[in-house]
Structure 1
């Protein structure tokens, strides 16, 4: 066990060695879902003028405001500013319009009755100065920092970009990723199964996980259990991609050629083997041009756990994405733990009646048993210890 590193050590070493993927400028419409790499400040005061908040009339308020007001014109949304010059008159206004000069009060249409060229105020209408007016700069003033580098561009962020005239957006570049399955036993998803064969699924699962994070430049590759072929293909893939995610061939079996092939291609090993279950054989290194190489175990649960726990957050961080703290859950029942290895236990989660996020463990029978994973949303990470982690234990939770 002396060559094993801890989960936290593995996390720190990956963060220390990961490259940066740089940035690019894209049209606003192509920026959704990307990671922002520029600061965005308010182009102008928001709102940029005193803004009417209700359909109705604008008046100059006074304690002696008449109960009947003559209509002197209109201020519609998008019009240049109009003016009111008489205290016994009003202007028709619509939501979003500029507040007319000479007015300081908006009376909503629900409190009015139109009578020819005038409005009568309803009996219960008691207007006050300043009502239903969205004052200039009350949301933010020109120059206010609105968006910071590292933010994920969702609907709200996209609205701010548009509202502040950012037509070209600097975002993190998306790296080219190769997901490589190794093994003679693997066949394509639509191929007939021969004796001793299984269909490839790890690459499909990992690609799906990466796409959830916006990584869509992904190629799926397969390498047979041949030493020369493994060396040649890995060298070729390193020339064509920024990131390699390999599945299988990384343990200590007589046909596990991946570590030697990576070394032959100039990939520098950062670590190999983590004190965790499942996923102990995981390997990580950096290629001669700074390529990030994650060699994941071949068992399906192990591969998905390692991709979720290490590769995905590392790729997001390499894009400059803001680091998010893990969720924490409360175990619903006691769970067996390993005395020397961190345990990653699949679980389904839901909020209990006290508002706590509760985890219900759904342990896999083996690291190759992924049939129960669709009943889970992720896994809990439990520290090494004797016996069981008791019900009520609070632990970090990582979503698939």
Structure 2
């Protein structure tokens, strides 16, 4: 039997066998949630002019000046007007260009009108340059604003729009087939017999993938029959960029997946990881370079492996950097295993210092899906002979 490998070795082997996906161009309105594959540089200074930040008046700052003659109005979206005399001011609107010859703005709530004259009535004298957003103070033309590899959220979309990017180069969405195996599985809407259970692993895996912005996911089921397994795997390998299988990867009589993948020429990279849950996980690459993840059929194991291995690999192939590691502290002492890395479901709370504390919510078994609904994610704990103490710092993976 092939020896198990460590969690870090499995992670490294997956990373070294994942090829980047190709790119495509999409309209800006459809780019949200996609991965940017072009560096975005500023097409001009931002702001592109000296910008008024408050409704009020603009004037040339001078010592002791507090009374100005109103000489006109500078609206937003109009070319800059010019002050004609030192004691003149122009009424200005937020977002307008600062008038030529002006350098200071006083907001309308600090003014008193006297016919065609305006008096500054604040207790403190206006500061030169106040409420003026200077040209280029945010960025200069040519500055790198959003690097390739960034997930496009609302802020990035707004920056793209500001810089006139109507057609965006992004990673092509991979087609992902999630396949659950087992004679005992029936559809969600079915009334199961006493010896049957409803399918849930594929729905849970697909939800985790969509939470990670991988939306092109299809669900499939096959019974434990060699010919049917081979037929479905052949079909889905041809139609998909990624296969995520669930079940049939251990050492039982009906665990048909490893042999079937071998028959189809999928090169095995590893089989079994020294972890709990999820030890039987299998990973390989098809002759066309498509990654194949074969996860254990136990529900907790399947979700743990999806979070720990599948999603990071898909992020890499999309051109995204690794996720930022979040660390939490154990809220209770916990005994795990002397030779296995353990993934423990936890619920998060926060102490009086605002630190995230992880309260273990151990599953009764690796098939205990119900307990996961009371948790926020999982922590990863290394092998240890004595208990992990309260306050032990561990990496945390959120379910979403």
Hey, what's the Cα distance between the residues in 2 that align with 1:105 and 1:336? 66
Q: Deviations over 1:51-89 (max 9, x none)?
A: 111111111121252x33211111110011100111121
Partner of 2:388: 389
Q: How does 1:147-226 map to 2 (within 5 A)?
A: 147-226=146-225
Contact 2:56/2:106 (8 A) holds in 1 = yes
Q: Which residue number in structure 2 is paired with residue 58 of structure 1?
A: 58
Distance 2:127 2:380 in 1: 58
Query: What residue in structure 2 maps to residue 259 of structure 1?
Result: 258
Structure 1 equivalent of residue 317 of structure 2: 318
**Stretch deviating more after TM superposition (135-144 or 378-387):** 378-387
**SS in structure 2 at match of 1:388:** coil
Deviations 1:348-374 (A, max 9, x none): 112211222111000001111111101
Q: Which residue number corresponds to residue 110 of structure 2?
A: 111
Match of 1:102 in 2: 101
Structure 1 residue 332 corresponds to structure 2 residue 328: no
Aligned equivalents of 1:44, 1:321: Cα separation in 2:
27
Q: Is the 2:113–2:119 contact (alpha carbons within 8 Å) kept by the matching residues of 1?
A: yes
Q: TM-score when scaled to structure 1?
A: 0.97
Separation of aligned partners in 2, 1:162 and 1:199 = 46
Partner of 1:74: 73
Runs of 4+ aligned structure 1 residues displaced above 3 Å come to: none
Q: Which residue of structure 2 aligns with residue 43 of structure 1?
A: 43
CA deviations 1:372-393 (Å, max 9, x no partner) are 1011111111111214222221
Gaps of 5+ in 1: none
> In 1, Cα distance between the equivalents of 2:122 and 2:351?
50
Q: Counterparts of 2:249 and 2:262 in 1: how far apart (Å)?
A: 12
Pair 1:125–1:396, CA change in 2 (3 A): closer
Q: Secondary structure at the match of 2:125?
A: coil
User: What do residues 197-249 of structure 1 show as CA deviations (whole Å, max 9, x unaligned)?
Assistant: 00000000000000011111111000111011111111111011010000000
CA distance in 2, matches of 1:263, 1:106: 74
2:23 maps to: 23
Residue 134 of structure 1 is matched in structure 2 by 133
What is the deviation of 1:130?
1.3
The match for 2:299 is: 300
Say if 1:111 and 1:125, in contact at 8 Å, map to a contact too.
no
Task: With the length of structure 2 as denominator, give the TM-score of the two structures.
Answer: 0.97
Task: Mark the CA change 1:123 to 1:46 in structure 2 (over 3 Å): closer, same or farther.
Answer: closer
Q: 1:15–1:327: structure 2 CA closer, same or farther, 3 Å change rule?
A: same
The match for 1:12 is: 12
CA contact (8 A) 2:2 2:271 kept: no
The gaps in structure 2 that reach 5 residues or longer are: none
Report SS of the residue matched to 1:210: helix
Per-residue deviation, 1:93: 0.4
Residues 248 and 299 in structure 1, CA contact (< 8 A), matched pair in contact too: yes
The alpha-carbon deviation at position 195 of structure 1 amounts to 3.0
Match of 1:271 in 2: 270
Conservation of the 8 A alpha-carbon contact between 1:46 and 1:140: yes
**How far apart, CA to CA, are the structure 2 residues paired with 1:295 and 1:397?**
23
1:230-241 equivalences under 5 Å are 230-241=229-240
Structure 1 window deviating more from structure 2 (281-290 vs 343-352): it is 343-352
Q: Which residue of 1 aligns with 2:371?
A: 372
State the secondary structure of the residue aligned to 2:370. coil
Corresponding residue number in structure 2 for 1:121: 120
**In structure 2, what is the Cα distance between the partners aligned to 1:227 and 1:112?**
84
| Deviation (angstroms), 1:123 | 5.8
